[in-house]
Amino acid sequence: MKEINVGIIGLGTVGTGVFKILGKFPQIKTLKIAVKNINKKRNIEGLDESILTDNPFEIVNNPDIDVVVEVMGGVEPTFELLKTAINNGKHIVTANKELLAKHGRELFESAKEKNVVILYEAAVAGGIPIIMPVKTILGANKVEQLAGIVNGTTNYILTKMTEDGISYEQALKEATELGYAETDPTGDVEGFDAVYKLAILSAISFNKRVDYKKIYREGITKIRKEDILTAKELGYRIKLIALAREIAQGLDLRVHPMFVKADKLLANINGVTNSILLKGFPVGEVVFTGAGAGEMPTASSVVGDILDLATELKYSSYPLPLMRCKHEESAVQVDINETYNEYYISLTASNNPGAIGVIGTICGRNNINLSVVMQKGTNDDNTAEIVVITETSKEQDVQNALRELIKSDCIKEINSLIRVMN
């Protein structure tokens, strides 16, 4: 392994883990660490505070630094920092999924021009190795589909709702108190975090550039206790799924809650654990499961990338060619309205004869067959919750049916629509 000098941008949870692990590898020397507040007291064993700086440009412009490790997060000024580092001929190791989803194309093209490598194993699933396996060991495969739980915060919330029968609000409060959810959890609970990760993973899996803005996104904030209970009653669990599959029209990419059969592996991934199921030819199905976040799991992936670079740089001036971006075309991304799914739909209807018939008639008129119809008791205001599960139907037809249903006299409210995983 070649002796190399690194500069770390960010000394938060992950940055601290990276620094601790690098201390076990004398060939890797940390020359500088950029922090937000240089006067903050840090109880980190082995930290020489003289290497701290509050100016990250000291790192990206330092001619003695070989590898810039970015674990600060965010888009600005991170994008400018990494672009500068690349222009200065430095290799990049990053855990920043948002930056790569939004500006990956420009960064990777700059890296190609400057003959440097961007490694980002930690950006998709924390400590789970997925980027390098897909680009190397699984390189002989044509990927047909991937589906995953890639956000630990939302998985923890849905697990608590399922196991303890509590509301979304209660589960979010508990996740926040335990440090699993940010003070502003929007990025997680509304699905943005999962979209960024899916954009990166689908791009390397299908060898095409992906526009994250065209990925359909729906979070978990509207999931009710009643939906969780009905799912359990029908033999399902609700999970936030990042889904990518190749269909005739192009790539079907989306992030949204799904009913997952209780006997399937993804239904039994609980707490903050992440899991990604990949289906391809000739390998069939492979599953990657483990800690998707946290100090040491994420730092493990970051340091793994650094060590790969250190090994390669000892022997080659063109390190890790298999890990370089080779995309030459953009994916055709399919609109959600053109996809076909099964659906769970919950409606509040008048508790009068013929209500279920109206639902069946309107669904039939929109080319939707129903496989399950249930009435969930009655309410004091003479309404009842009616639950249906459809056979495979076109999204546009289902949305048309919902618009027609809400206009009918007997339907008072559409409570939920959740797609069912095949």
Closest CA to 193 of 220, 172, 174: 220
Contact call for residues 71 and 101 (beta carbons, < 8 A): no
* The pairing of beta strand 340-350 with beta strand 236-247: unpaired
Distance separating alpha carbons of residues 149 and 242, to the nearest angstrom = 6
E strands along 295-359, which residues?
A: 340-350
* DSSP notation for 117-146: -EE-THHHHTTS--HHHHHTTTTTSEEEEE
Identity of the amino acid at 79: F
Residue 250 to residues 105, 385, 401: CA-CA distances in angstroms? 20, 37, 26
Q: What are phi and psi of 254, to 5 degrees?
A: -160, 160
Contact call for residues 397 and 322 (beta carbons, < 8 A): no
Residue 379 to residues 351, 354, 385, 408: CA-CA distances in angstroms? 9, 17, 8, 19
Distance separating alpha carbons of residues 146 and 254, to the nearest angstrom = 11
Contact call for residues 352 and 378 (beta carbons, < 8 A): no
Distance separating alpha carbons of residues 336 and 195, to the nearest angstrom = 14
Q: At what angle do helices 168-177 and 152-164 cross, to 10 degrees?
A: 120
Q: What residues are annotated to the active site?
A: 197
- HSE-up (13 A, CA, CB side) for residue 35: 21
Neighbour tally for 107: CB within 10 Å: 22
Closest CA to 399 of 411, 385, 414, 387: 414
Identity of the amino acid at 197: K
